């Protein structure tokens, strides 16, 4: 009788551990989508990403391939996003002095039903954005961050050699400090 009871308890514990392991694997898999771009730090972007044209509202055309030799910051945001509004002052603190040292910031507003060209232009004026800004569709955004996670804000920083040196998602005081330090460090190279 004790053997049967022990076997039943053993099976129950085994099922519970299996379920817990499966849950942990699923959580890691979901979190991994956010970290996919971080895994690309130190590497060149795929050729299709490096050559992806980015058109800004003022008609300028950019791609990462042609910007090699500069420190490039791609800042993905949304005009309706509170975190994006908190994040933009981090980006606008870089001015002409950093541009002269080789910094190129390009803002890319996530394109959706609520994001019209007029609304983006108003946002640029409201937030006092002096760097070029364009619109980006989710599928292009996903290719740049190499993830299904197209939440905003997200910022990619590429070194002069074209390699990804940092990927920031969201905005808080830590992101502000680390992003600023990363740009300054890359400009020194």
Instruction: List the domain boundaries for the chain.
Output: 1-35, 38-188
Closest-CA residue to 73 (of 87, 83, 59, 85) = 87
Adjacent-strand bridge partners of 104: 72
pLDDT tens per residue, range 35-69: 455 668 999 999 999 999 999 999 999 999 999 99
Round to whole Å and give the CA distance between 145 and 38.
9
Place of tokens 């690309």: 40
Residue 108 is inside which H or E element, if any? strand 103-110
pLDDT tens per residue, range 113-164: 888 999 999 999 999 999 999 999 988 888 888 888 888 999 999 999 999 9
Output the average pLDDT for the chain. Answer: 84
Round to whole Å and give the CA distance between 189 and 185.
7
Instruction: Name the superfamily (CATH) of residues 38-188.
Output: Glutaredoxin (3.40.30.10)
């Amino acid at each position: 009788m004790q053997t049967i009871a022990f076997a039943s308890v053993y099976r129950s514990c085994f099922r519970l551990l299996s379920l817990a392991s499966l849950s942990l694997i699923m959580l890691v898999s979901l979190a991994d989508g956010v970290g996919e771009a971080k895994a690309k730090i130190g590497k060149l972007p795929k050729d299709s990403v490096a050559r992806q044209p980015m058109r800004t509202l003022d008609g300028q055309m950019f791609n990462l391939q042609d910007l090699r030799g500069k420190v490039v910051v791609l800042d993905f945001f949304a005009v309706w996003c509170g975190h994006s509004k908190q994040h933009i002052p981090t980006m606008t603190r870089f001015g002409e002095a950093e541009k002269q040292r080789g910094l190129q910031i390009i803002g890319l507003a996530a394109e959706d039903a609520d994001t019209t060209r007029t609304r983006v232009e108003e946002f640029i004026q409201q937030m006092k954005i002096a760097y070029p800004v364009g619109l980006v569709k989710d599928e292009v955004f996903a290719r740049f961050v190499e993830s299904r996670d197209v939440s905003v804000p997200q910022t990619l920083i590429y070194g002069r050699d074209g390699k990804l040196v940092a990927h920031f998602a969201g905005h808080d005081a830590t992101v502000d400090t680390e992003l600023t330090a990363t740009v300054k460090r890359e400009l020194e190279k």
